[in-house]
Amino acid sequence: MTNTPMQILAPDAAGLTTAAGILRAGGLVAFGTETVYGLGADARNDTAVAGIYAAKGRPSFNPLIVHLSDLATAEQYCVFNDDARALAAAFWPGAMTLVLPLRQGAGISKLVTAGLDTLAIRVPDHKVARDFLEKFDGPVAAPSANPSGRISPTNADHVIAGLGDKIDAVIDGGPCGVGVESTIVSCVGKPAILRAGGIPAEAISACLGHPIAVPDDPDMPQSPGQLASHYAPKGQVRLNAQQIDPGETLLGFGAVDATLNLSPSGDLTEAAAHLFDCLHQLDAMGATRIAVSPIPDHGLGRAINDRLKRAAAPRD
């Protein structure tokens, strides 16, 4: 987010060019889709993605949906199997999100995937959104453009009222259609619906030629990232460390002497952007005991602490 006032951009060539430039510079742009307005950032830019969480006041790093202009672009970032191709052919562009294996070297921020090896993607059925995505020519992470916990926005005025002083621009693409969230389908292993949405299970089952697991099924896989220790590095983690014990590696925050530091200046947005990368670096170092400096438990600090608590949770 820059210090300049938020821009309200028209959905014309000039407005879309300006919006794409803001994203390339690491800014935040809200834009309409057929479901709701999304708050977009370059999905490859850690700091920009952290800015989404800061602007929304989002309490935890849930995996974000990445919006892409077409199937060919989507295949640059994910590995498709036969089921995924069938669903994409039938329902894209449209209100379906597919969870697929992340392609090696795709360059997507770990904040987008919440450190997982899967990616949630969709191709929206909205002319302005697709024109914007084509103009930007890259992956756009975009949860709903509203403060966390508030009603999802279905027009530009909703975005302005909720986030007007926290983002760089909104493309006024008019009102959304029905405003129903996308159906999320995991195609990792046996297809399963992770979130009900605008495309009913019956239509998905008909497309696949067999029934699909739905959220009411007791044996349906849970959404990624919900297990208590899901975000754990290989080493044991000790939180709120005021000093380092023998054999520990310090993951620091603020003005401390640490092997790795989330943010030497104590900036929570910077710390959020570095969190998952630092955990991966600790694994690469072979750290077996990890001490973590105290992190303030406000703003993005709540999200950082949520993931660190999961990382420190007892394991089976």
Task: Tell me the pLDDT band of 3, cut-offs 50, 70 and 90.
Answer: low
Q: What is the mean pLDDT of residues 298-303?
A: 78
Distance CA 235, CA 248 (A): 10
What average pLDDT does the structure give for the chain?
A: 89
Q: Is the pLDDT of residue 101 over 70?
A: yes
The second-level CATH assignment, the architecture, of 7-208 is: Alpha-Beta Complex (3.90)
Tell me the DSSP string of the chain: --SSPPEEE-SSHHHHHHHHHHHHTT--EEEE-SSSEEEEEETT-HHHHHHHHHHHT-SS-PPPEEE-SSHHHHTTTB---HHHHHHHHHH-SSSEEEEEEBPTT----HHHHTT-SEEEEE--S-HHHHHHHHHHTS-EE--BSS-TTSPPP-SHHHHHHHHTTTSSEEE-----SS-PPPEEEE-SSS-EEEE--SS-HHHHHHHHTS--B-TT-TTSPPPTT-STTTT--SSEEE-S-SSPPTT-EEEE-SS---SEES-TT--HHHHHHHHHHHHHHHHHHT-SEEEE----SSTHHHHHHHHHHHHHS---
Domain boundaries, the chain: 7-208, 236-312
Q: Is the pLDDT of residue 240 over 70?
A: yes
pTM of model > 0.85: no
Bigger pLDDT: 16 vs 179: 16
Task: Tell me the pLDDT band of 316, cut-offs 50, 70 and 90.
Answer: low
Which residue(s) pair with 140 in the sheet? 42, 67
Q: Would you state the pLDDT for residue 226?
A: 46
Q: Is the peptide bond before 11 cis (omega within 30 degrees of 0)?
A: no
Q: What is the mean pLDDT of residues 290-295?
A: 97
Task: Tell me the pLDDT band of 215, cut-offs 50, 70 and 90.
Answer: low
Strands 7-9 and 169-171: parallel
Q: Is the pLDDT of residue 224 over 50?
A: no
* Amino acid, single-letter form, for residue 294: P
Q: Which of 146, 148, 142 is nearest to 161 (CA)?
A: 146
52-83 pLDDT, tens digit per residue, is 999 998 767 788 999 999 999 999 999 999 99
151-181 pLDDT, tens digit per residue, is 788 899 999 999 999 999 999 999 887 666 7
